[in-house]
């Protein structure tokens, strides 16, 4: 097994809910509830789930863009949640985050060359001439022509802008990049190119990725392991091939069935995910998937399932696998 660059243990992010009449706290939304996972050096973990399941909050809490209430985020053995300002800044240089909307991440009044050089300047990289040379190298690293350095964000396509965001992230030689839905706003053909580029960069620079997406088919290509998240909790984790061959949690099976297939035999057995994900404030007792689960049983309504190891590093939170 590869050495781990990141270990997240029992991470919790709970937001207070205020009463409608009096502004006092009447409850908590458990946006991230006891989430644990690990990522090896140069490895990708896919974190998958529907919009609003807590996967973005997990990524943001890891680098303290959102405050976590409990847990550990161990990056090369140091708990990010406990670091002082100076150590936190040093760690943040090693962990970059890219988002769904590259346009929002770029200053529309700044040329692409200046946008890349800005990151180098912030991190005290050499002279102006050295920064210009490095910006030209970085734009070629993300497979764009140097001519783009003099252009502005509005002159680029969505895919090209995402490459510039990636070039800025690479400027500080990160060891881990949190990719939050980085391709979901792009056309399908551009998605594939961007995922291939991420894969090439990983091989070349040994970067680890936490790849957050609502789309299992996008995550499959890049991820060694996949964690499936539902209503603030990871409900299934397995190696990518194992997860696609033997999806065990009813939610994972429904997510997989929502991926279009050209195989006519597959269509007969599809389990469709009905209804929307309940609000996090509606979480009651029992399994948080029970209101949508085709396999729901009596105990699912009042007993929360524990994590069960079904073998080969495949773990699932579901009463279907409980051995009495
Ligand atoms: Fe469905 Fe019950 Fe398993 Fe939850 S514990 S996923 S409700 S079978």
Per-position pLDDT tens, the chain of length 324: 568 999 999 999 998 887 777 778 877 888 999 999 999 999 999 999 999 899 999 999 999 999 999 999 999 999 999 999 999 988 988 999 998 888 888 999 999 999 999 999 998 899 999 999 999 999 999 999 999 999 999 999 999 999 999 999 999 999 999 999 999 888 888 899 999 999 999 999 999 999 999 999 889 989 999 999 999 999 999 999 999 999 999 999 999 987 665 555 555 455 566 666 776 666 678 999 999 999 999 999 999 999 999 998 999 999 999 876
- Centre of ligand 1 to C-alpha 134, Å, is 52
Q: Is 175 in the pocket of ligand 1 (CB under 6 A)?
A: no
* Distance (Å) from CA 28 to ligand 1 centroid: 23
Assigned domain for 193 exists: yes
CA of 250 to the centre of ligand 1 (A): 7
Range of the domain at 199: 4-94+174-260+269-321
Quote the pTM value: 0.91
Q: Which of 250, 239, 314 is nearest to 287 (CA)?
A: 250
Tokens of 120: 């180098």
Q: Is the CB of 290 under 6 A from ligand 1?
A: yes
Residue 145 within any structural domain of the chain? no
Say yes or no: CB of residue 186 within 6 Å of ligand 1. Answer: no
* 294 falls within a domain: yes
What's the chain's length in residues?
324
- Which long-range contacts does 183-187 make (Cβ < 8 Å, 24+ apart)? 183/213, 183/218, 184/100, 184/213, 184/214, 184/215, 184/218, 185/100, 185/101, 185/158, 186/158, 186/159, 186/162, 187/158, 187/159
Is the CB of 250 inside a 6 Å radius of any atom of ligand 1? yes
Q: Which atom of ligand 1 is nearest to the CA of 290?
A: 7
Instruction: Give distance in angstroms: CA of 304 to centre of ligand 1.
Output: 9
CATH number at residue 36: 3.40.50.300
**C-alpha to C-alpha distance for 49 and 206, rounded to whole angstroms:** 26
In a domain, 37, yes or no: yes
The residue whose CA has the least distance to atom 3 of ligand 1 is: 318
Asked if residue 55 belongs to a domain, the reply is: yes
Residue 23 maps to a domain: yes
Q: Is residue 313 included in any domain, yes or no?
A: yes
Residue tagged 């490895």 (tokens): 43
133 in any annotated domain: no
Question: How far away, in angstroms, is 315 Cα from ligand 1 center?
Answer: 14
How many domains are contained in the chain?
1
Q: Which atom of ligand 1 is nearest to the CA of 295?
A: 8
Question: CA neighbours within 13 Å on the CB side: how many for 48?
Answer: 28
Is 231 a pocket residue for ligand 1 (Cβ < 6 Å)? no
């Amino acid at each position: 097994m590869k050495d781990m660059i990141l270990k997240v243990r029992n991470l919790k992010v709970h937001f207070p809910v205020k009463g409608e009449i009096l502004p006092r706290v009447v409850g908590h939304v458990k946006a991230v509830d006891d989430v644990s996972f690990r990522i090896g050096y140069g490895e990708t973990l896919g974190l998958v789930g529907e919009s609003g399941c807590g996967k973005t909050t997990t990524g943001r809490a890891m680098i303290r863009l959102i405050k976590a209430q409990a847990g550990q985020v161990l990056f090369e053995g140091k708990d990010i949640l406990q670091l002082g300002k100076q150590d936190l800044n040093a760690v943040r240089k090693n962990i970059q985050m890219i988002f769904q909307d590259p346009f929002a991440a770029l200053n529309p009044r700044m040329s692409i060359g200046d946008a890349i050089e800005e990151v180098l300047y912030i991190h005290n990289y050499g002279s102006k001439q050295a920064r210009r040379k490095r910006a030209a190298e970085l734009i070629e690293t993300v497979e764009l022509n140097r001519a783009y350095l003099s252009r502005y964000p509005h002159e680029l396509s969505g895919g090209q802008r995402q490459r510039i965001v990636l070039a800025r992230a690479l400027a500080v030689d990160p060891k881990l990049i949190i990719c939050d839905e980085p391709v979901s706003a792009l056309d399908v053909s551009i998605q594939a190119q961007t995922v291939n580029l991420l894969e090439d960069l990983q091989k070349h620079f040994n970067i680890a990725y936490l790849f957050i997406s609502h789309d299992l088919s996008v995550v499959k290509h890049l991820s060694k392991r996949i964690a499936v998240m539902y209503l603030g909790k990871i409900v299934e984790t397995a190696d990518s091939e194992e997860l696609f061959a033997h999806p065990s949690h009813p939610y994972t099976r429904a997510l997989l069935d929502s991926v279009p297939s050209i195989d006519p035999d597959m269509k007969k057995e599809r389990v469709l995910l009905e209804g929307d994900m309940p609000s996090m404030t509606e979480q009651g007792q029992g399994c948080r998937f029970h209101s949508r689960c085709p396999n729901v049983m009596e105990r699912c309504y009042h007993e929360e399932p524990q994590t069960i190891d079904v073998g080969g590093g495949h773990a699932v939170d579901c009463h279907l696998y409980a051995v009495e």
